Structure 1
Amino acid sequence: MIRLGVRLALGGGRDALIRLVIIASAVALGTGLLLGTLAALNATGTQNDRNAWLNTGRDGSGGAPAADRQEGAAADPLWWQLGADGFQGKLIGRIDVAATGPHSPVPPGMPRLPGPGEFYASPAMSALLRDTPAGELAARYPGRQAGVIGDAALPGPDSLIVVVGHRPAELAGQRNAVKVAAIATLSPSTCNGPSCDIGTDSNGMILILSVVAAAMIFPVLVLVGTATRLSAARREQRFAAMRLIGATPRQISVISAVESTVAAAAGVAVGFGLYGLLRPLLAKVSFTATPFFSSDLSLTTADVLAVALGVPVAAAVSARIALRRVQISPLGVTRRTTPRPPRATRAIPLALGLLELGFFIGRRPATSGGQALAFLPGTLLVLGGIVLAGPWLTMVGARLMAARARRASGLVAGRRLADDPRAGFRAVSGLVLALCVTTGAVGVIDAMVHERGVPSSPEPVRNTVLSDHTEYLPGRTVGTAAQPADGLLAALRAVPGVGGVTVIHSDPAAFDRSPRGDGGGLADCTELAAMPVYGTCPPGARTASVPVGFSSYGLGPDPSWPSGWPAATASPEQLRRLPVTQIAVTTDGSRSAVETARTLLAAAYPADDPPYTIAEGRGRMSAELDGYRQLADVVIAVSFPIAGCSMAVSVAGGLSDRRRPFSLLRLTGVRLRTLRGVVLLESAVPLLAVAVVAIATGFLAAQLFLQAQLGYSLHPPGGEYYAIVIAGVLAALAVIAATLPLLSRLTGPENTRNE
Structure 2
Amino acid sequence: MQLALRVLRVDSRSRLSAVLTAAGVAVATALILFLATLPNATDARLKRSAWQEGAAEPHGVTMVTRDFFQNETVMRLDVTGAADPANPAPKYPGPGQVLLSPRLADLAERNPSHDLADRFQGEVIGTIDEQWLKFPEQLVAVVGHPPGTLDPEEARYSGYAADTSDFLLRFMAGVGIVLLAIPSMVLVASAARLTAARRERRLAALRLAGATPGQVIGVVTAETAVAAVVGTVAGLLLSWPLRYLGVMVPWGGGTWLISDFTPSPVTVALVGLLIPTMVVLAAVLGLRRVVRAPLGAAMSHARKRPKAWRLLSLVAVAGFFLFGLYTARETGGLGVLLASLAAVLLSASIVGPWLTGMLGSLFASMWRKPSVLLAGRRLRSDPQAAYRSVSGIVLAVFVGSMALTLLPSFETFAGGGRSFKDSVLFVDVPTASAAELEQRVKDQLASSGSAATVVRAEKVVLEAPDGSSASGLVMSCQDAAATTRFGVGACAGPPAIRADAGQQLPNTGLKVKSSPPVEATDPQVQEISLPDGVPVRPLGSQDPELGGSVLIDPALVPAFTEHGESTLAINPVNEADREKVRTALATALPGESFHSRELRLHEQQTMLGDLKRITAIGLGLTALLAGASAAITAASSVVDRRRTFSALIAAGTPVRMLGRALRTEAALPAMVATIGAGAAGTAVAAGIFTLFSGDTPVVLSGWLLAPVVIGMVVAVIAASSSGPMLRRIGAERISEE
TM range (shorter): 0.7 to 0.9
Give the alignment of 1:527-566 within 5 angstroms: 538=490, 558=546
Question: Does structure 1 residue 461 correspond to structure 2 residue 421?
Answer: yes
Aligned counterpart for 1:521 among listed residues 449, 467, 474: 474
The structural deviation recorded for 1:533 is: 5.8
Cα distance between partner residues in 2 of 1:602 and 1:709: 34
Question: Does structure 1 residue 27 correspond to structure 2 residue 25?
Answer: yes
Q: Which residue of 2 aligns with 1:190?
A: none
Q: 1:730 to 1:470 in 2, by over 3 A?
A: farther
Deviation sequence 1:481-534 (CA, Å, 0-9, x none): 232565655578857xxxx6351244999999xx99445433483x66766965
Q: Which residue of 1 aligns with 2:519?
A: none
Deviation sequence 1:229-264 (CA, Å, 0-9, x none): 331112122333344444443333222222111112
Cα distance between partner residues in 2 of 1:594 and 1:718: 39
Q: 1:145 to 1:398 in 2, by over 3 A?
A: farther
Cα distance between partner residues in 2 of 1:322 and 1:510: 72
Aligned counterpart for 1:407 among listed residues 347, 362, 369: 369
The structural deviation recorded for 1:586 is: 5.0
SS in 2 for 1:6: helix
Q: Which residue of 2 aligns with 1:61?
A: none
Q: 1:362 to 1:315 in 2, by over 3 A?
A: closer
Q: 1:579 to 1:715 in 2, by over 3 A?
A: closer
Cα distance between partner residues in 1 of 2:326 and 2:276: 44
The structural deviation recorded for 1:392 is: 0.9
Cα distance between partner residues in 1 of 2:480 and 2:448: 15
Instruction: For structure 2, list consecutive stretches of 5 or more residues without a partner in the other structure.
Output: 500-513, 516-540
The structural deviation recorded for 1:339 is: 0.2
Question: Does structure 1 residue 584 correspond to structure 2 residue 565?
Answer: no
Aligned counterpart for 1:119 among listed residues 83, 88, 98: 98
The structural deviation recorded for 1:81 is: 0.7
Aligned counterpart for 2:438 among listed residues 482, 496, 511: 482
Cα distance between partner residues in 2 of 1:545 and 1:488: 33
Cα distance between partner residues in 2 of 1:688 and 1:629: 27
Give the alignment of 1:404-483 within 5 angstroms: 404-440=366-402, 442-444=404-406, 446-447=408-409, 449-450=411-412, 452-454=413-415, 461-462=421-422, 464-471=423-430, 481-483=437-439
**Which one is further off, 260-269 or 225-234?**
225-234
Give the alignment of 1:353-364 within 5 angstroms: 353-358=317-322
Q: Which residue of 1 aligns with 2:272?
A: 308
8 Å Cα contact 1:48-1:200 kept in structure 2: no
The CA RMSD measured in Å over matched residues stands at 4.3
Give the alignment of 1:185-584 within 5 angstroms: 197-199=161-163, 207-208=171-172, 210-285=174-249, 290-358=254-322, 366-369=330-333, 372=334, 375-440=337-402, 442-444=404-406, 446-447=408-409, 449-450=411-412, 452-454=413-415, 461-462=421-422, 464-471=423-430, 481-484=437-440, 488-489=444-445, 501-506=453-458, 517-523=470-476, 525=478, 538=490, 558=546, 568-569=554-555, 581-584=567-570
Cα distance between partner residues in 2 of 1:267 and 1:659: 28
The structural deviation recorded for 1:561 is: 7.6
Q: 1:249 to 1:531 in 2, by over 3 A?
A: closer
Cα distance between partner residues in 2 of 1:539 and 1:196: 40
SS in 2 for 1:170: coil
Deviation sequence 1:82-135 (CA, Å, 0-9, x none): 111223332222211111xx686596452x211233222233333433444433
- Whichever residue aligns with residue 640 of structure 1, its letter is A
The structural deviation recorded for 1:297 is: 1.0
Cα distance between partner residues in 2 of 1:532 and 1:710: 27
Deviation sequence 1:535-566 (CA, Å, 0-9, x none): 567466799989999xxx9777645989xx77
- Whichever residue aligns with residue 120 of structure 2, its letter is Y
- Whichever residue aligns with residue 409 of structure 1, its letter is S
Deviation sequence 1:595-626 (CA, Å, 0-9, x none): 333223323322322x3331212455788877
Cα distance between partner residues in 1 of 2:228 and 2:3: 17
**Which one is further off, 516-525 or 80-89?**
516-525
SS in 2 for 1:146: strand
8 Å Cα contact 1:399-1:418 kept in structure 2: yes
- Whichever residue aligns with residue 266 of structure 1, its letter is V
Instruction: For structure 1, list consecutive stretches of 5 or more residues without a partner in the other structure.
Output: 58-64, 67-75, 180-193
Cα distance between partner residues in 1 of 2:43 and 2:257: 12
Deviation sequence 1:452-481 (CA, Å, 0-9, x none): 5535999x933x1313133489xxx97772
Instruction: Give the paired residue count.
Output: 693
The structural deviation recorded for 1:197 is: 1.6
Q: Which residue of 2 aligns with 1:163?
A: 142
Q: Which residue of 2 aligns with 1:72?
A: none
Cα distance between partner residues in 2 of 1:108 and 1:235: 60
Q: Which residue of 1 aligns with 2:116?
A: 137
**Which one is further off, 331-340 or 515-524?**
515-524
- Whichever residue aligns with residue 62 of structure 2, its letter is W
Q: Which residue of 2 aligns with 1:73?
A: none
TM-score relative to the length of structure 1: 0.79
Q: Which residue of 2 aligns with 1:4?
A: 3
8 Å Cα contact 2:421-2:484 kept in structure 1: no
- Whichever residue aligns with residue 19 of structure 1, its letter is S
8 Å Cα contact 2:631-2:721 kept in structure 1: no
Cα distance between partner residues in 2 of 1:742 and 1:320: 28
Question: Does structure 1 residue 695 correspond to structure 2 residue 678?
Answer: yes
The structural deviation recorded for 1:345 is: 1.4
SS in 1 for 2:668: helix
The structural deviation recorded for 1:352 is: 0.8
8 Å Cα contact 1:287-1:634 kept in structure 2: no
TM-score relative to the length of structure 2: 0.81
- Whichever residue aligns with residue 677 of structure 1, its letter is R
The structural deviation recorded for 1:28 is: 1.5
The structural deviation recorded for 1:641 is: 3.0
8 Å Cα contact 1:208-1:287 kept in structure 2: no
